[in-house]
Structure formats: C-alpha cells, structure tokens
Structure 1
Amino acid sequence: MSVDIVFEDARWEEVGFEALAEAASRAVLSHLGVDPDAEIAFLACDDTRIAELNAEFRAKGQATNVLSWPSDERAAETAGAHPDAPRPDFPDAPLELGDIAIAYDTCAREAVDQSKDFSTHVTHLLVHGTLHLLGYDHIDEKDATLMEGLEVEILGKMGISNPYLR
C-alpha cells in the first residue's frame, strides 16, 4: 500500500492521520481482494479548502467531510452489484486508485455531534472514501445498501462498531 499525504492542516498530523489512512485503506483492499500495492493520494485539509473543492468539482459551495476522485470510472453496470476489481493500466505499473480529501473541521464537528471518537469517525470516512475509489457509491438505494454493508463489515474487522447505529 502506497499512501501519499499532503498535509494542509497540521491538526491532522497531530492526530496520527497517516496511520489512520494506511489502516483504513489497507483494510478495504484486503477485504475486497484488491492488489495491496495500490496507491492512494490523500489531502488532509480544513473546511475552507474542502468547500473550494466541493464547489469546483460538485457545484456545492459548502464544506463536507470527505471527497473522492477515482483515477478511473469503476462503477458497476447494475445497481447493487460489486464493481469489477481494478487493474493497473500497464503490466508492472502500480495500481493508482485516486485521491481523497478530508476536512478536519467537519470531521471533528460530526464526531462531537454524533458522540463518536474522532479517530473512529475518521477511519469510517476513510473506508467510505476508499470504497468510492473502487467504484462503490450510495446514490441508488441498492448501491447504498451494498456500500454501507461493506463499510460495516470492514470496520467490524478493524474492531469498530457499526457507525450507522445510534
């Protein structure tokens, strides 16, 4: 697993973001049987930066917790189906999955509002973002059910309880 992180907000370094990102992405790849030598780039930023990205790429001018940009379109053709496993573009080339941006302020606020441990909440969001890179989504109800089920299974293997239960 190759994790490249750009820290735009030093608070992320203080909470051990690199270890969280590696653990979450490695857990997803392992669970789905994806090449463990895959590459993911992370931007650990604040609400101001993620709001700019959200406006630029999704035409939504407010902050959000996490954004993902897959390197290729990987969505399944049928709602509720698993996407095909990604493959490198060339033999012996690394499998580049894409980029994930995550906002400290929103994550911290959500953790407090939902009475969740910050690191646990961030791990969930990183699992969620990594699944997006692999072609999973939650726009359609069947896709959302599949994606949330995978999140719960992966987090469970990491010793984290179901984040959708309150």
Structure 2
Amino acid sequence: MTRSSVRAHRAQDSQSPVSGLEIDILRETGDWPAPAEGWVRRAAEHAYVVAGPSQGAELCIVLADDAFVRNLNRTYRGIDKPTNVLSFPMSAMPVAAGGEPMWAGEGQMLLLGDVVLAQETIAREAAEQAKSFGDHLSHLVVHGILHLLGHDHEEDAEAEEMEALERDILEDLGIADPYAAERARGDV
C-alpha cells in the first residue's frame, strides 16, 4: 500500500493534538459507523503517548472490510482468511540499497507503518464477546499500534507484557480489560 495511492481517500486531517503525531485515517471499504474515526484516533494517540518514543511520528490506519483484509492476509502472511487487524511496521520493511532506515535519526519524523482493520470481523467478534463495537475497535487499534512499536506476542513472556500494556492503555481510556473473560476461563 503506497501513501500516494491512498492520500486522496483521507478521512480526516492527519495532525493530531498529540504533539508531533500525524495519523492518516483512511476509509478504504466497509460499513464503518460514523464515530469510528474518533475511536481510532483516540486509541492510537493514547497508545503512542504511553508506549511510543518521545519524537514526532506518522502512521496510517486503514478502515477496510473483510475482503480487503483477506487479500492482504493472503498476500503478506499466506493465510487465506480475514483477520481483525493487520500491522505493517515500517521497521520491518527492507531498506533500499544505500538508503537510510525510515526511523533513523534524532529529531526526524518516525514513520511507524500501517494498521489495517476489518469491519465485519470486528463487528462479529464484538457481538460474540458481548463488547461494544467501539471498545473492541479501540482495543484492536491499540494492539496494532503496539505491533508498530515493536511489541509482539509470539512468546508467553512477550504476550503477557503486551497484554498488560494493552490493559493499562485501555483502562486509561475507560475500556474494560479485553482479556478478563479469557483469564476467567483459564485461556490466558
């Protein structure tokens, strides 16, 4: 996904009230509720303030549908089904020969990458988990931003650390612990 191909679809101004953070929110596809951009922006800003470095940054959040996300998931992960959120960290992108990493340099804009969200999957999961769409969406935005910032959940210790950070960020936003039901069942 290139920035030049999607800038025309920008849903809101990118400048955030969070100093130095630029967020492009793009409505690519899907039947997103009107307040979606506000939920996304609020969650992204708070995740960055809590877990990000103290320098200016730019990221793109794409609001899409299951078909769009399924195609990306198949192309980039080899998994032929939609998922709720995909993160494409700029730090994982190969650097052109002789080029500089996109997030090197003191005082330069940090290019975090892209987070892509699938509306139908998020709505279905929210209903199955008895959560509001906005709260579930906010959780997935936080999760995606943490991936852009280098957090992962492949190993148990990493997962515990990432989930604790998610819970702290969401608590600050007034959103209940998204893992509480799993812990009560012993799944986490």
Shorter-chain TM band: 0.7 to 0.9
State percent identity of aligned pairs: 38
Distance 1:101 1:152, change over 3 A: same
Q: Report what 2:120 is aligned to.
A: 105
3-state SS in 2 of match to 1:101: strand
CA deviation profile, 1:134-164 (whole Å, cap 9, x unmatched): 0001111110000000000110111111011
TM-score, normalization by structure 1: 0.85
- The structural deviation recorded for 1:15 is 3.2
User: What is aligned with 1:79?
Assistant: none
Q: State TM-score, norm by structure 2.
A: 0.76
Q: Quick check: 2:59–2:114 contact (8 Å CA) kept in 1?
A: yes
Task: Give structure 2 stretches of 5+ with no counterpart.
Answer: 1-20, 93-101, 182-188
Q: Name stretches of at least 5 consecutive residues in structure 1 with no aligned partner.
A: 74-86
Q: Structure 1 residues 35-44 or 121-130, which shifts more?
A: 35-44
| Equivalences, count | 152
Q: How far apart, in 1, do the equivalents of 2:129 and 2:177 lie? A: 13
Alignment partner for residue 78 of structure 2, among 53, 59, 78?
59
Structure 1, residues 66-112: CA drift from partner, whole Å, max 9, x if none?
00011104xxxxxxxxxxxxx94244431111100000000000000
- Taking structure 1 as reference, are residues 112 and 64 closer, same or farther at Cα in structure 2, changes over 3 Å only? same
CA separation of 1:156/1:53 partners in 2, compared to 1, >3 Å: closer, same or farther? same
Distance in 2 of aligned mates of 1:38 and 1:92: 10
Structure 1 position 158 matched with structure 2 position 170: no
Contact 2:30 2:65 in 1 (8 A): no
Alpha-carbon distance in 1 for matches of 2:134, 2:114: 20
| 1:65-104 map, 5 Å | 65-73=84-92, 88-104=103-119
Largest Rg, 1 or 2: 2
1:133 deviates by 0.2
CA RMSD of aligned residues (A): 1.6
Give the conservation status (yes or no) of the 8 Å contact 1:28–1:130. yes
Matched residue of 1:55: which SS?
A: helix
Secondary structure of 2:168 counterpart: helix
